[in-house]
Structure 1
Amino acid sequence: MSSTLPVQEGFIPFRGYRTWYRIVGDLSVNKKGMFPLVTLHGGPGATHYGLLPLEKITETGRAVIFYDQLGCGNSDRPDDSSIWSVKLFLDELIAIRRELGLDQIHLFGHSWGGMLAMEYVLTQPSGVLSLVLASSLASGALIDAERKRVYEQLPFEVREILLTQRWSEEPEYQQARKYFDTHHVIRHEPWPDFLDQANKRMNVKVNISMWSQGELRTWDIRPRLREIHVSTLVTSGVYDGMSPTQDDILFQGIPQAKHMVFQDSAHFAHAEETDTYIAVLNEFLTQVEQSYQ
């Protein structure tokens, strides 16, 4: 990414721990009617590394803020499985905005980050100009059915391994998982370095705690989508194997939503078709800002 842009990194205190953040670009440009993009990564337990291609939007003059949610990446990793909840991550986002003085923002959420973003917007916070939901979900309860439909399209031997085995270091499982990932997660081979970094720094324990054992398994925001009253852009990839039909639920349910489907992408359209994605994203953000002038 550009080395000429100002970069600020640091930690904010949160519930006795530290949350790491990174600001790329000049936050003062909001004086010219251009407001920063705050990004929420997936998981839970994943890291900001999966969103690094979004740094390209700083070429338009807009600042972007990344942070690693508590428990992963460069942030502290509490060894207490009882603390992981949607409420904790909502409070963390509130703390990020307060500590960094982010009064007016655009909010970008990828996958789980989009779920968190919707929960946050429903609290009716001030200063959120727009919402971007990238390969996100409307219901955790729909995941198994969706995943099964995707698996049914896979070669028989791959499908059988993924349906009958849980995560394993065994070569046959890893090979089957690699086939799925390169067809339905990100369609790059080899995977880009930033995504390898994201996987290395992911905290699987947080993910399991929130999904397999926690509230996300039955999480369902569909009844409340009509209550989201900010301009929203829903994006998805044709080959997404994580949430292949939920983008349409979001688009149909949110009153002021626009929808963009990327034809050569899976779960990481912002990384697979970066130039096109940034152009679409910037056009949307600019239109929202112009409506406030």
Structure 2
Amino acid sequence: MKLIVVLLAIALTVSVALCGIAYFDYPGVFDQDAIPLGLDLSGGSLLVFEADTKESPSADDMNAVISMMRSRLDTLGYTEAAVTKSGEKRIQIEIPEISDPGEASAKLGATAVLTFRNADGDIVLDGDDIAGAKAQYGPTSSVSGKYEHYVSVTLTSAAVSKFSAATTAAAAQSASKKNYISIMLDENVISQPYVSETITSSDIMISGSFDEAGASYLAGVIAAGRLPFALKEIQAQSLSPQLGESALTSSLIAGGIGVILVMLFMMLVYKMPGFVASIALLEYT
């Protein structure tokens, strides 16, 4: 009877190791999608940006840009991406899994200058006026009560008075339908709320038919801060995998066989304690 229990335990453990558990979103050892891949295995994009300044920026400013880019990539889930300084004015970014350099640049939002503009195009607020931003889900209108993903932005104390003056001026133009404030990222309008009265709150809601990923991305870009100088893209190219699919498959097979052999040894020698140790090994793996 004990032998049957041990054999069943071995079969169950091996099955979980190989196939995973779909219900709990637990991957098997051969599930390549569950493993974040670097450029050598997945390929990706290479982007090079140069500081658009007459003189070379300071080391602190360059490090600040690298930190902001790193934060944006982490927000997007590209934890395997690499951001490095190249020379005095250039920053090189390698992003795995995105083969289209244009898509990589768009997702990164390399310049990502946030501005609030009135109907005449005048800037009333910019990134320096933002104290913080976070993605949220909830009602965006007290009238409809509709729940949506949106970005909650907190203004600095100095910006509250500027925004109050801008919304007062905008509300006065309701007859000409110019009573709106455009919220722009670079030259793209991401939201254009209409203003009916003066807004004196330090909290602003940016809504625009976002999904969860879109709201999180925008909040991350805003929260990461404004770049200390403008960047211009000087190189964008697609990179092919250096090792290829066969290398990844061989590595997974070898690793899977090794894990299974270790689990079999522990369960055959130590019985139930070995089974428990195998479960712990699976969780660690």
The alignment's TM-score, normalised by the length of structure 2, stands at: 0.23
Give the structure with higher Rg (CA).
2
Q: Kindly indicate whether structure 1 or structure 2 has the higher relative contact order, using CA contacts under 8 Å at least 6 residues apart.
A: 2
The alignment's TM-score, normalised by the length of structure 1, stands at: 0.22
